[in-house]
Amino acid sequence: MNEYERMLENAYKKIKVVSVGAERFTIPKVMGKVAGKNTIITNINDIASHIRRPVEHLAKFLQKELAVSGKLESSSLVLKTKLNSQKVNEKIEQYVKEFVLCYECKKPDTEIVSEKGVKSKHCLACGAKYPIKSKI
């Protein structure tokens, strides 16, 4: 085996595999309830795992965008105000556009990387890399 083939083999070992599928990427809708003055989102962990982002990051974004305080309790997010599900779903869609979907190929196969203090979204499907403008 020559040097080129050895280097090529090492490069293939370092590449992250992206699943190739024709199914359309859909975001799960919010499920929850209103209890007194609180809104409880019961499937926040399912949403975060589906979009492959940390639940803490998603929760912090929702709290900032909805201008409410809240906390994660086991598998739920408790927000300290009454909200309808449509508004929460809109903010989750905004989160997905900003932190998950690639601007170039529109696929959800991205990761957030930090280089020299600058966070950027790197697409594993097409290789595009964009800085993230929002500060959370």
CATH number at residue 87: 3.30.70.3150
| 92 and 59 inside one domain | yes
Q: Give tens-digit pLDDT for 22-74.
A: 456 788 899 999 998 999 999 999 999 999 999 999 999 999 999 999 999 98
| 115 and 131 inside one domain | yes
- Determine the pLDDT at residue 117: 84
| 41 and 85 inside one domain | yes
What residue ranges in the chain does DSSP mark as E strands? 32-35, 38-41, 70-73, 76-79, 110-115, 118-123, 129-131
| 72 and 124 inside one domain | no
Q: Give tens-digit pLDDT for 56-68.
A: 999 999 999 999 9
**Residue 80's domain spans which residues?**
29-100
Backbone angles phi, psi at 27, to 5 degrees: -95, 130
Q: Is 88 exposed, middle or buried (0-12, 13-18, 19+ CB in 10 A)?
A: buried
Q: What is the mean pLDDT of the chain?
A: 88
- Determine the pLDDT at residue 53: 92
- Determine the pLDDT at residue 136: 76
- The count of domains in the chain is 2
Note whether residue 70 is domain-resident: yes
Note whether residue 3 is domain-resident: no
